[in-house]
Amino acid sequence: MYIGIIGAMESEIALLLNKLQEIKENKIGPFVYYIGKLYNKDVVLVQSLEGKVNAAICTQLLIENFDIKYILNVGVAGGISSKLDIGGIAISSATVEFDNDTTALGYELGYTFGIEKVLVKCNEKLVKSIYDISNKDNNAITGVIASSDKFVEESTTKELLKDKFNAIAVDMETAAINHVCALNHVDFCAIRAISDKGSKKEFREFLQEALNSINKIIFEFLKSD
């Protein structure tokens, strides 16, 4: 069985791809799936492109075409929790698609049809294992990661996510990937490094630093898994 690893941007999978051995490529639809070994673990690595729809399609194709043990989502995110500084690690205990808004029909904000929940939980064993590795420097927390097709800058949205969902970070893919995993009964966890607190300038400035942190965690996790 394979460990699936998804990153939205080329930069989010670049270091992992550079370490991947015995590489084979399989192009399915618009996505290139890189099959190989990381620390003797069978891995399928893929760039999903940004956004919820791209992430969802990429995940479904990954599950349908490979024998997947579990899926990890890696990359950067915007920080919401005051406990996370730039470079800190957010590990998803659950996710929410906060742009799912059918409140006019009587549903709660973020309600996910098909799963019939607002908060979609991640695999507890994966979450604990990754947290134990990530928190060696005391800069990791677990919690809800919120996703939408928007780069969130404004403080009002961040306060809503914190108050409504107790979210710790926000991005554009994690919840969509978890949505697909839940429907397919595939275990999932996301590891996101905080690259910004809602500023495009911060995002560009600290992107590589955040990605270095993520890749270090992934390498240590695979060695211990």
The model's pTM: 0.92
Q: Which positions are annotated as active-site residues?
A: 12, 196
C-alpha span between 176 and 206 (Å, rounded): 25
DSSP-assigned beta bridge partners for residue 95: 120, 145
CB 68 within 8 A of CB 187: no
Q: Domain of 158: which CATH number?
A: 3.40.50.1580
Tens of pLDDT along the chain (225 residues)? 999 999 998 988 888 898 999 999 999 999 999 999 998 899 999 999 999 999 999 999 999 999 999 999 998 888 898 888 878 899 999 999 999 999 999 999 999 999 999 999 999 999 999 999 887 766 899 999 999 998 877 778 888 898 899 999 999 999 999 999 999 999 999 999 887 555 454 555 566 676 777 878 888 888 877
Please give the tally of structural domains in the chain. Answer: 1
Which structure tokens are listed for 99? 């742009």
Domain that holds residue 144: 2-224
